[in-house]
Amino acid sequence: MSNQTELQIALTGVNKHYGAYHALKNIDLRIAKGSFVALVGPSGCGKSTLLRSMAGLETITSGDLVIAGERMNAVPPRKRDLAMVFQSYALYPHMTVEENLTYSLRIRGVKKAEAKKAAEEVAATTGLSGLMGRYPRELSGGQRQRVAMSRAIIRHPKAFLFDEPLSNLDAALRVHMRKEIRALHDRLGATSVYVTHDQIEAMTMADHVVVMRQGVIEQQGAPLDLYDRPVNRFVAGFIGSPAMNFVPAVAADDGRSIILPFGEGQHLPVNRPVPRGRSLIAGLRPEHLVIDPTGAGPIRLDVATVESTGSNSYIATASKPDIVLVTNGRSPVSVGSRISIGIAPEHVHLFDAGTEARIAVEG
């Protein structure tokens, strides 16, 4: 992110301890005004703790949290002017939709008629107009989700915090709401921080993806940067679906190819020099692997399973470790047949077998 863009939320050296447990380790994160940032990682990685620390629901042990130029470490949540959409939605069950929407306004002493008008405006944009008199228990999951969103929108907060807001919806609705949330973000010119364990949500919605593991930010950047240049094996395996194949490999003597453990002569050319004999992990994305009908591909393996969704076929090989590759449409091969697989040299990711860090093109 360039220096010219205005910072909305800035975390510097943030740590969070629960007793002996170190939940957040030296978090540095800059969130520009108007950006959509996704915090993504497996459960227990600290992404929710980080979000709740921004909201003030958790206090950070050390470091600095600055929101819109003000240091907020010790400011209570109600004075931070952030709106949060909870995974459970946290709608007030004893209030109607309208009362849920206007709650924050009524707390601030906004006049009744004015609050009602604001609620109607927001409801019109989120498709809740006909439901204002209903109680949360009378709504479907998707409608509750909209109420939770509307309750956040009505406040015009400094930033929206989303804590896995779509995980309670069914798959079809989730895909739809993904687009809707992003469209809403763009229309409001809002700043959004979005926690999810679903890397597809992160990749499709965010301008800036932050991958976390065990309280540490492993990598952050534009979604496709993470896809193209993952800094280590963890990020490489986490970003992309189906997940990247990892194959132990050794650098060949020619320094321009690697030897795969699938038997004699399975050399894979790479586009960077590698010191001979070095133990490596080769990362091969399923969508980059292609079946070579001439049989001249560098990898030759038997097919173990074929799964077809109609639009794609997932072919897994009978090898250790197995290799998954994706082809468009129907599978050109059948179970048990021997296939020849190729990959463009620039698509081969290489990681150090010990540190699991990326070996860059220049290296």
Partner 1 sequence: MKRIFSSLADGKGFDIALIVFPLAFLFVMAGLPLIYNVVMSFQEVDMFSLGTFARPFVGFKNYVTLFSQPETWPILKNTAIFVVASIAGQFIAGFALALFFWTNFPGASWLRGLFLVSWVMPGLVVGAIWNWILSGDFGVLNYLLTALGIIDGNIFWRSDPNFSLWAVIIANIWLGTSFNMILLSVGLSAIPKDLFEAAELDGANAFQRFWTITLPMMRSTIGAIISLGLIFTLQQFDLFAAITSGGPNNSSNVTQYWAWDLSFRQYDFAQGATISVVMIVFVMMASIVYVRSTRHEVRG
State the Cα torsion 234-27-36-90 to the nearest 10°.
100
Among 51, 83, 131, 205, binds partner 1 (CB under 8 A): 83
Of 86 and 314, which CB lies nearer to partner 1 in the complex structure? 86
CB 132 within 8 A of CB 96: yes
- Could you identify the residue written with the tokens 């999810």? 196
List of residues 6+ apart from 287 with CB closer than 8 A: 240, 325, 326
Should residue 334 be labelled a site residue for partner 1 when binding is judged by CB under 8 A?
no
3-state DSSP of 340-361: EEECCHHHCEEEECCCCEECCC
Should residue 116 be labelled a site residue for partner 1 when binding is judged by CB under 8 A?
no
Longest dimension (CA), the chain: 79
Should residue 92 be labelled a site residue for partner 1 when binding is judged by CB under 8 A?
yes
In 156-191, where do the E strands start and end? 159-163
Binding segment for partner 1 (CB under 8 A), chosen from 21-29, 77-85, 250-258, 261-269, is 77-85
Retrieve residue 335's tokens. Answer: 């179970």
Tell me: cis bond preceding 242? Omega within 30 of 0 counts.
yes
Among 6, 13, 18, 78, binds partner 1 (CB under 8 A): 78
For residue 190, the minimal CB distance to partner 1 (Å) is 15
Should residue 246 be labelled a site residue for partner 1 when binding is judged by CB under 8 A?
no
Should residue 142 be labelled a site residue for partner 1 when binding is judged by CB under 8 A?
no
Between strands 159-163 and 82-85, the pairing is parallel
For residue 352, the minimal CB distance to partner 1 (Å) is 43
For residue 137, the minimal CB distance to partner 1 (Å) is 6
For residue 125, the minimal CB distance to partner 1 (Å) is 19
Instruction: Please work out the total of residues on this chain that contact partner 1, with binding judged by CB under 8 A.
Output: 25
Should residue 104 be labelled a site residue for partner 1 when binding is judged by CB under 8 A?
yes
Among 63, 77, 142, 269, binds partner 1 (CB under 8 A): 77
List of residues 6+ apart from 116 with CB closer than 8 A: 98, 102
Residues 12-71 that bind partner 1 (CB under 8 A): 55-57
Binding region for partner 1 (CB under 8 A): 55-57, 76-78, 80, 82-84, 86, 88, 90-94, 103-104, 107-108, 136-137, 151, 155
